[in-house]
Amino acid sequence: MSLRVRLALVTTAVVAVAVALASIAVFLSMRADLLRNVDNDLKNRATGIQSRPFVPGPFTSKSISGKSTVVFPAPHFGEHDYFQFVSAKGTTLRPTNEPGAVPVNPRTLAVATGKSKAFLTDTTIAGIHARVLAVPYANGVALQIASPLDSVDRELHRLELILLLVSLGGIVLAAAGGMLVSHTTLVPVRRVTGAAERVASTLDTSERVPERGKDELGRLAVSFNAMLAALEEAIETQKRFVADASHELLTPVTSLQTNLEVLARAPRLPAKKRKDLIGDLLGELREVRKLVGNLVELARGNRGERREQVRLDSLVSDCIDQATLRYPNLHFLAELEPATLEGDAERLERAVWNLLENAAKWSEPGGLVEIGLEGGELTVRDGGPGVPDKDKPHVFERFYRAAASRGMPGSGLGLAIVNDTIEAHGGSIEVADAEGGGALFRLRLPGAS
């Protein structure tokens, strides 16, 4: 069942329930008003009979409770009201030409004995629906006055028919209106659905949905377009990433192939030249391994993170020890205060190492690399020429190589990995010019304490 049909059915059901409740309320209110008029008329009749002097008529019965009771001749019930007297013992006295007796129940006897007050009830007399009022008449005697409800029943039946027709008409109109409203309301949804289907079939993420209105459906179109834009950007980023990775891998792989071909064609190379060639091969292999590792790190992103409590100062100190061994011609000066945060120790260590490696690459032999850790902020300053202003906005982009770095080893992924890692931990990183020269990288980790 489609959403359009379900919306129409729900709308019709709600309207049907509302119409049914309204019809019931109207019917009950009308019935109460009609019965109230009959009840008032019965009460007035009862008051009139109770107040009239009673004179024996043509067919006088025995005295009831010391009063001489007159039986009034009455036409056939249904044309006028009907009455009868009831003694405490259940004996009834009524006009001789009445078609039948009014039913007597224990409550009527209680009225006759004075144990109960007057009451109204519905009953059937000679097959005619009637309303009966029982009131005290004298000591030990109750008076019952009945009024036919034929006219009331006819009005109620007519009202039932009218309400039924109105309800059916309202439900039909509600169903038609529900279909129309659901059709109109779901037009934006169908646009989004059509766009999603076209994107799925054509893989064209440039598709966009018209944005109309500021309601929920309009916001749905805006959100869908934003999702398509993000998807398009992600696909373009992926394409650039693959192209850049292919380009970066092509150079060392080509160099490896060339050196291997030289070794294959000249198996009797001089020992020194052969050693140099093998050294070049090993160096290229290290670069390829490092590049592949960086690519895997970038592709992995936040997946596979293992969050734990990390002593950031100890992690930085270990990286400095490795850098001291790797770059013995540089001096590393560190001022580290204890700091702990929750994060992925492996990714944080790679980020810190990349910062130190970048500083070492730009520092002159015998230069100084300064590292500071205070208040959850890590700073790394090198002794190089600094970062030109035009390159500062791009140094954390993947595969970005500044003009001055294109003759140096590297793939342009180190600082991109640092940026991704810090952002994954809710922090930020920036580069600035250090006082006295060099570049200053400032890394903030708000979770460190």
The domain segmentation of the chain, as residue ranges, is: 3-155, 216-297, 305-444
Q: Which of 28-37, 187-196, 290-299 has the highest mean pLDDT?
A: 28-37
Q: Which of 118-127, 263-272, 365-374 has the highest mean pLDDT?
A: 365-374
The mean pLDDT of the chain is 78
Predicted local distance difference test score (pLDDT) of residue 140: 82
Residue 89 has pLDDT above 80, yes or no: yes
pLDDT digits (tens, 9 = 90+) for 98-149: 556 788 888 888 888 888 888 998 888 777 888 899 988 878 888 888 888 8
Binning pLDDT at 50, 70 and 90, where does residue 204 land? confident
| Burial class of residue 86 (count of CB atoms within 10 Å of its CB; 0-12, 13-18, 19+) | buried
CA atoms within 13 A on the CB side of 265: 6
Binning pLDDT at 50, 70 and 90, where does residue 414 land? confident
Predicted local distance difference test score (pLDDT) of residue 59: 28
Binning pLDDT at 50, 70 and 90, where does residue 370 land? very high
Residue 380 has pLDDT above 90, yes or no: yes
Measure the CA angle with vertex 351, ends 348 and 356; round to 5°: 125
Written out in words, the top-level CATH class of the domain with range 305-444 is alpha beta
Q: What is the mean pLDDT of residues 275-282?
A: 77
Q: What is the mean pLDDT of residues 261-281?
A: 75
Q: What is the mean pLDDT of residues 409-423?
A: 76
| β-bridge mates for residue 373, sequence order | 336, 378
* Alpha carbons 412 and 294: distance in angstroms, whole number: 10
Predicted local distance difference test score (pLDDT) of residue 329: 92
Considering the four listed CATH numbers 3.30.70.20, 1.10.287.130, 3.30.830.10, 1.10.540.10, the one that applies to the domain covering 216-297 is: 1.10.287.130
